[in-house]
Chain A
Amino acid sequence: MNALLASATVSTAEQVTFWVLAPLMVLAALMILISRKAVHSALWMATTMVILAVFFAMQGGVFLGVVQVVVYTGAVMMLFLFVLMLVGVDASDSFVETLRGQRWIAAVLGLGFAGLLLSGISRATFPPPAGVGVEDAASGGQVRALAEIIFTHYLFTFEVISAVLIVAAVGAMALTHRTQLTPRLSQTSLSRQRVSSGRVTPLPSPGVYARHNAVDTPALLPDGSPAEDSVPEHLRRRGLVRPTGPVELPHGDGEGNRS
């Protein structure tokens, strides 16, 4: 464990982990790009984040790995999913490209950039990895070591970043605040509205029969026809209303035999 945490040299375990998870990560990143539904992209993103957390931990940044899971996968991705649900969770994008030549440009630039980066990195020479184990041990644990650095060398940065966070939170609230443009309806006016609309009573509840216990079953009116109002509107919209014919009552032949 210590050897793993020290991470000075690349152990076999690390190698195996890397070569298994790295292609997975690349695949997940590509799937973010090519998923049709946005929700799928979000899920693949979460995958990438988790694999990234594993890599952080393998390199000796255990604290950072945990923080990655908590903040990114936990908070940020949840935020994304919430907004996706607001926007429309089923929404699927069309893959017809509207801008002329954008695909080509993206391909050229992407490949070119990747080539440049990789070639640049490959020409660099690095010293043999030192690992963070020594520093951790010097301060008595990684958390303490990180804290020492943050609260001494990078104190000002820390304060600025906390200010950024606070501003971001307040800003989000300000942005999404809806101004009440119409006067807030009081109870009196609400009841007046209801009376003048024509339907004073609440909507009928769905009909539940012995065969089926569901909200998609409409109630029956006295003459046997289904009452449209009894099924929730979104089910009506989607055409998920269970059809009801005339109720088949079990009837005998007059001799006490059931059919």
Chain B
Amino acid sequence: MTPTYYLYLAGIIFTIGASGVLLRRNSIVVFMCVELMLNASNLAFVTFARINGNLEGQVVAFFVMVVAAAEVVVGLAIIVTIFRSRRSASVDDPNLLKL
């Protein structure tokens, strides 16, 4: 086994997260799938740091984590606001931008 397997794993997790965004209707679950994608990329970064022997990969993963946290905060606040006015957490409900 080589560290390449971690990369395969990261790819698979990323794909699962992407499919989740397409398939789930609950906005919070969709958000969770987005977080899953970010985590998969974190795994890839750390693996590359290990392969190349410098810590920059980990530093980038660190920053990604911080940004993801900020994103979660804002995203959930938006979901709460939408839920307050529409009483629904489904992503299919706001569909007024159709032609």
Interface SS, B side: helix
Pair count A-B, CB < 8 A: 241
**Least Cβ distance of B34 to chain A in Å?**
11
Do B73 and A172 have beta carbons less than 8 Å apart?
yes
Question: Chain B interface residue count: which class?
Answer: 35 or more
Residues of chain A lying within 8 A (CB to CB) of residue B72: 76, 79-80
Taking a contact as CB atoms under 8 Å apart, the answer to whether B1 and A26 are in contact is no
Q: Shortest beta-carbon distance, A60 to chain B, in Å?
A: 5
* B46 and A176 form a contact (CB under 8 A): no
Report chain A residues within 8 Å CB of B46. 55-56, 59, 61, 64
Question: B33 contacts A146, CB within 8 Å?
Answer: no
For chain A, residues 215 to 256, give those with C-beta under 8 angstroms from any C-beta of chain B. none
Within 8 A of B (CB), among A88-133: 88, 91, 93-94, 97-99, 102-103, 105-107, 109-110, 113-114, 117-118, 121-122, 124, 126-127, 129-132
Interchain CB contact under 8 A, A127 and B39: no
The prevalent SS among residues of A at the interface is helix
Shortest Cβ gap from A162 to chain B (Å): 8
User: Are A79 and B73 in contact (CB-based, < 8 A)?
Assistant: yes
In the bound complex, how far is the Cα of B92 from the Cα of A169, in angstroms? 27
Output the nearest chain A residue to B31 by Cβ-Cβ distance. A80
**Residues in B lying within 8 Å of A, measured CB to CB:** 1-9, 11-20, 22-26, 28-29, 31-33, 35-36, 39, 42-43, 46-47, 49-56, 58-59, 61-63, 65-74, 76-81, 83-84, 89-90, 92
